[in-house]
Structure 1
Amino acid sequence: MFNRRRSLIYLGLFAGPALAVFLLFAVAPLVGTLGLGFFSGATGQDRFVGLENFINILTGPVDGPRFWNALLNNVEFFAIHLVVELPIGLGLAALLSSGVLRRSTGVYRTLIFIPTTLSVVIVAFIWRMIINPLWGLVDFPLLADTHTALPTIALMSVWQYVGIPMIFLYTALIAVPEEVVEAARLDGANGWRVFWQVKFPLIAPQFAIIAILTFIATFNGFDIIYTLAGASAGPDYSTDILGTYFYRTFFGSGASLSDPNRGAAVAGLIFLILLIVTALYFWALQRRTARANRLER
């Protein structure tokens, strides 16, 4: 009994400060923001309106099309990261862990990861200079066309953050037991089959985690769109994602007036989307793990 009480005291001493900071700076602002979405009116004169703000954002004649446009753009933004960033990161990780580069592995790993450490403003400035139609390498205004603006910005983001999946997958690949790889080679498997039939199934959980983290990151995206296209997310809202839509709604920009209550409702919808998708992922992961455990028995 005494040992248990002492353990609880130690747990409170070590975990208490971190828990207090988390509750104060993460949970409390989240709850406050979600609660703000159920009210309407000027500050100090708020009145409870229930789900009215949420309904207007989803179905209103003005807010509805803007929200769904931002959501679809966000899905496209995520899809480009998923089909471009993750395969490139996996390929780079496979190359670096294969031993082909030998002593240069650390150099290439550092060079690939360096863009991740750069400011988004610097990355945006560099790429704006590169694709400038007047003195850059491209003679077409990619950021001024509604069909190419969002894919162009997404590929810039891929270039900056491809080092993150590369590092995660590289560490997973070098942790694969060498005995398993040698056994596959003794059975006559070539390098291609060893990777896809031995190594990749072992790192598939890490790959799935990176995919869900990419989803969360892209649906929280804002900075690179704001830097390159502004709060209006032009041209003609073609680069508008949920982050920039929330910014215009909450803080106001140009012709869009500030409305913290509607902005909080947008933030609540973003949180709900992230919560549902993440919960579905962990539910599927738990089912798969339980099925694998039953097969082992």
Structure 2
Amino acid sequence: MQRKVPWHILVFLAPALLIYSVFSALPLLDTLRLSFFTTSESGHQTFTGLANYHTILFDPEWSHAFWNAMWNNCKFFLLHLLIQNPIGLLLATLLSLKSLKGAKTYRTLIFLPTLLSVVIIGFIWQLILSPLWGVGEKLMGFAGLADYFAPFLGDEGSALITLALISVWQFVGIPMMLIYAALLAVPEDIVEAAHVEGASSLRIFWEIKLPLILPTLGLVTILTFVGNFNAFDLIYSVKGAIAGPNYSTDILGTLFYRTFFGYQSQIGSPTMGAAVATMMFLVILSGVGAYFFFIQRKLQRFEL
């Protein structure tokens, strides 16, 4: 006998489903549709199949910009993965210690930058790091590092790294709070039993707490991946859509912006922009799919 779905469940799901369809699903499908067309000078759209994707991947002019943005995006993500998440884990572990005084104040201060606008953060750090009127050189001088000060945002080799570190500083509170909540959920009786058996705090963390919060660490990793491959606002607010110097901070988000809307001498193309956006979606979808297929299943078997 087929079980009927209660009508009130459909009523409560309808608003969320409607909003998701109108603002997420339908625009995504229309972007995919638009990527299969090309726009003439008169504005007329013609179906061209995969021609836009072939241009992005194999045309020398377009492919260089795309793979440069892709590589910068990968570096941007890896810097967050290797710096932000370990720091978040360390901070969460320290804040979960019962002997730590003022833990609530520390949590608030660390999480506070995540509530600020990225535009404000970018503008403030531009002022701090400016070689002309910034206080960065003076602050480094207090630590005896004034000789190492350089125009970090103006150098091709350091601009992307500097922006990634600014982003880490702003958003480290998010993985910290997620991991902190997972650490609080670790059963106290297991930890107390380990203490009774004579295990040190470090051993308890590595052999008990860390394995139990692995699903949360996996969630933090995939959120970091999605967030960084959708990144745009910090790069745009600090370096503009041109993502200088010499496109050294160009990522997929800024490439999409220039392609779709145009910038300076570059004429915008909605169809090519839709193709770039679809490539971004496929990259994110591939990363999330690989996580769930190769990692999430192992974590679930580990929990069992």
Structure 1 letter corresponding to 2:86: P
SS of the residue 1:265 aligns to: helix
Q: State the alpha-carbon separation in 1 of the partners of residues 244 and 268 from structure 2.
A: 19
Provide the residue aligned with 1:107 in structure 2: 105
Q: State the alpha-carbon separation in 2 of the partners of residues 156 and 58 from structure 1.
A: 31
Which of 256, 278, 283 lines up with 1:268 in the alignment?
278
Which of 186, 190, 202 lines up with 1:176 in the alignment?
186
Provide the residue aligned with 1:216 in structure 2: 226
Matches within 5 A, 1:110-129: 110-129=108-127
1:63 maps onto 2:62 in alignment: yes
- How big is each residue's C-alpha offset from its partner over 1:205-243, in whole Å with a ceiling of 9 and x where there is no partner? 100110010000000000000011110000000000000
Provide the residue aligned with 2:259 in structure 1: 249
What is the CA distance between 1:292 and its match in structure 2?
4.0
Structure 2 letter corresponding to 1:9: W
Structure 2 letter corresponding to 1:33: T
Taking structure 1 as the reference length, the TM-score comes to: 0.94
Provide the residue aligned with 1:52 in structure 2: 51
1:288 maps onto 2:287 in alignment: no
Task: Figure out how many residues of one structure are paired with residues of the other and give that number.
Answer: 291
Taking structure 2 as the reference length, the TM-score comes to: 0.92
What is the CA distance between 1:183 and its match in structure 2?
1.4
Identity among equivalent pairs (%): 49
Aligned-pair Cα RMSD in Å? 1.7
Q: Is the 8 A contact 2:37 2:48 kept in 1?
A: yes
Q: Is the 8 A contact 2:214 2:299 kept in 1?
A: no
Q: State the alpha-carbon separation in 2 of the partners of residues 83 and 286 from structure 1.
A: 20
What is the CA distance between 1:12 and its match in structure 2?
1.7
1:234 maps onto 2:244 in alignment: yes
Q: State the alpha-carbon separation in 1 of the partners of residues 48 and 72 from structure 2.
A: 29
SS of the residue 1:62 aligns to: helix
Q: State the alpha-carbon separation in 1 of the partners of residues 84 and 302 from structure 2.
A: 29
Structure 1 residue runs of 4 or more that deviate by more than 6 Å after TM superposition: none
Structure 2 letter corresponding to 1:91: L
Q: Is the 8 A contact 2:215 2:299 kept in 1?
A: no
Higher mean displacement: 39-48 or 136-145: 39-48
SS of the residue 2:60 aligns to: coil
Q: State the alpha-carbon separation in 2 of the partners of residues 253 and 107 from structure 1.
A: 44
Q: State the alpha-carbon separation in 2 of the partners of residues 222 and 137 from structure 1.
A: 25
Provide the residue aligned with 1:21 in structure 2: 19
Structure 2 letter corresponding to 1:270: M
Q: State the alpha-carbon separation in 1 of the partners of residues 136 and 72 from structure 2.
A: 26
What is the CA distance between 1:100 and its match in structure 2?
3.0
CA gap 1:73/1:286 in 2 versus in 1, 3 angstroms: closer
